[in-house]
Chains A and B, each alone.
Chain A
Amino acid sequence: MKTSTEILLVDDNPADLDLTTEMLSRGEFSGRVRTVNDGAEAIAFLHGQGKYAGAQVPDLIVLDLNLPKKDGRAVLADVKNDPALRKTPVVIFSTSQAARDILGSYELGANSYVSKPGDLQQFALAVKSIQDFWFCCARLPKEEKQL
């Protein structure tokens, strides 16, 4: 029995959060979209700390790299080094196309790296691809978990 599917968006740009959420709803994403604005919030959320006590671990994390407080790399490292969290797929979603950022993300254990396109249509396509692959094609590790 599947619990409600949940995606966590981590991005400091509210415009991008809105854009991604909008594209997900156009793609008829039926799960819940949670958003946080900086790395520290992301880590608190994922560990169920403070105001996020009791929050469930998301099925998929979509993570920008350049964040205030703790940046995306720190969040990624935190997730992938934690035995309880490491199986959660993390998709880096960033405007950076620098080879160093891409390689660095994989080295920290990112599952996937998708470039945020500058064009709206391409952006919509990118979000749709992420949604289609991770929620309709791949199997996610959390699904069979009972509450």
Chain B
Amino acid sequence: MSAAATVAHDHDIRPPAGHGKLRVLLVEDNPADIELVSRELRRGGFDLTMDVVETEEEFTARVRSNSYQVVLADYNLPQWRGLEALNVLRNEKLDIPLILVSGALGDVSAVECIKQGAMDYVLKDRLARLPVAVLSALQEKRLRDERQRAIDDLAKKVEELARSNRELEQFAYVASHDLQEPLRMVAAYTQLLAERYQGKLDEQADKYIHYAVDGAKRMQTLVQDLLAFSRAGRQQGEVKETDCNVMVELAIANLQVAIRESGAQITYDHLPVVLANSSQIPQVFQNLIGNAIKFRGPKTPQIQITAERQENEWVFSVADNGIGIAPEYCQDIFVIFKRLHTRTEYPGNGIGLAICRKIIEQNGGRIWVTSQEGGGSTFKFTLPAAPGFRQG
């Protein structure tokens, strides 16, 4: 029984500004009211297409077959409470703004209607407000849609990035793992060749063999380091309360030889409990302490490990009296394979700090260094505090 309501253009009224096409579904049984709404909307500048329904069945049928930008509903209908259109919309999963157009109700009911999901409420004897209300509702819907689109885009990008990262990690791991075996063959047999033929062929041959052996050995350590880097942060283990005193002890246990040879003195006292993956943290201390010992100057290495609470995190300091780092390199040294010295000066591939950074960042912290050349270094990093624990 519904048909698109067409109203003859009223040539005396020019729309103040064109708001473009508007598709409306009106829930109303009173023809006079239908006419009033239609006229008001056109007067408000809308190019109107309007369908009218009276019952829930008609409403449901309409919203399923057509698309509307706004629903206007009368509160009191003989067969149906207009507000219940909201339920239909919800069931059909349609996000169309609904504006109640109704006779006077108490204030309480108005608020109730908004609470139940109506976008707005316009009184029938104040219909002049209707165009503005519709505009408002359309705008809010537009903003809502934009925001949702932005969120969806972001979520998609994040997922893509995560997938790409996973693939890269997997690749790095597999590559370095599978490279080890052939490298081992090359390294072992070039060395055997060297042993067998050194001095028995000419000088050129000796040199060639030497370069081959050297290259093979360096490749081996590079691949091992790459593997170690790729493994760092992949260890099984959940984030839990982690006693850093134990972490340091584990690290020191693995550095026994270096500590003994250098006479290094390491002090740490009452380190706190943090929230972290406890299978990864010893590696951080091990690399930092190991570096402090390796890059020592003429003095016997003295290393102090302390921690200071700052809001929700602990700031750890590993301070040494070694050769120090020129300030302009303090950022670079955390980059994988970045070295500041030749291999003959200090051994290593430049991976320890890259691993530290990877682990710390994965555990929600930051790592940095303050230092001067010749003046020792202090490496600092943060880790989240464990709730309920004070300094140990």
A positions within 8 Å CB-CB of B: 13, 15, 19, 22, 95, 116, 118-121, 123
**Contacting residues, chain B, for A116 (C-beta < 8 A):** 184
B180 touches A95 (CB 8 A): yes
- Output the least CB separation between A86 and chain B (Å): 31
B192 touches A120 (CB 8 A): yes
B189 touches A118 (CB 8 A): no
Q: Can you report 19 A-B residue pairs in the complex whose CB atoms are below 8 A from each other?
A: A13-B185, A15-B185, A15-B189, A19-B188, A19-B192, A22-B192, A95-B181, A95-B184, A116-B184, A118-B180, A118-B183, A118-B187, A118-B220, A119-B187, A119-B220, A120-B188, A120-B192, A121-B191, A123-B188
Interface size on B, residues (CB 8 A): 13
Secondary structure of the B side of the interface? helix
**Contacting residues, chain A, for B224 (C-beta < 8 A):** 118
| In the bound complex, CA of A119 to CA of B221 (Å) | 10
**Contacting residues, chain B, for A22 (C-beta < 8 A):** 192
For residue B217, which residue of chain A has the nearest CB? A119
How many A-B pairs fall under 8 Å by CB? 26
B184 touches A118 (CB 8 A): yes
Query: What 1/0 flags go to B172-210 for Cβ under 8 Å of A?
Result: 000000001101110111011000000000000000000
For residue A66, which residue of chain B has the nearest CB? B181
| In the bound complex, CA of A123 to CA of B187 (Å) | 11
For residue B183, which residue of chain A has the nearest CB? A118
- Output the least CB separation between A129 and chain B (Å): 17
8 Å CB contacts to A: which residues of B210-231? 217, 220, 224
For residue A123, which residue of chain B has the nearest CB? B188
- Output the least CB separation between A114 and chain B (Å): 15
- Output the least CB separation between B241 and chain A (Å): 24
| In the bound complex, CA of A13 to CA of B188 (Å) | 13
| In the bound complex, CA of A120 to CA of B180 (Å) | 14
**Contacting residues, chain B, for A15 (C-beta < 8 A):** 185, 188-189
- Output the least CB separation between A23 and chain B (Å): 10
**Contacting residues, chain B, for A13 (C-beta < 8 A):** 185
**Contacting residues, chain A, for B217 (C-beta < 8 A):** 119
**Contacting residues, chain B, for A95 (C-beta < 8 A):** 180-181, 184
A-B contacts besides A95-B184, A120-B192, 13 pairs, CB < 8 Å: A13-B185, A15-B188, A15-B189, A19-B188, A19-B192, A22-B192, A118-B180, A118-B184, A118-B187, A119-B220, A120-B188, A121-B191, A123-B188
- Output the least CB separation between A17 and chain B (Å): 12
**Contacting residues, chain A, for B181 (C-beta < 8 A):** 95
| In the bound complex, CA of A119 to CA of B181 (Å) | 12
Nearest 5 A/B pairs, CB to CB: A120-B191, A120-B188, A118-B184, A15-B185, A118-B220
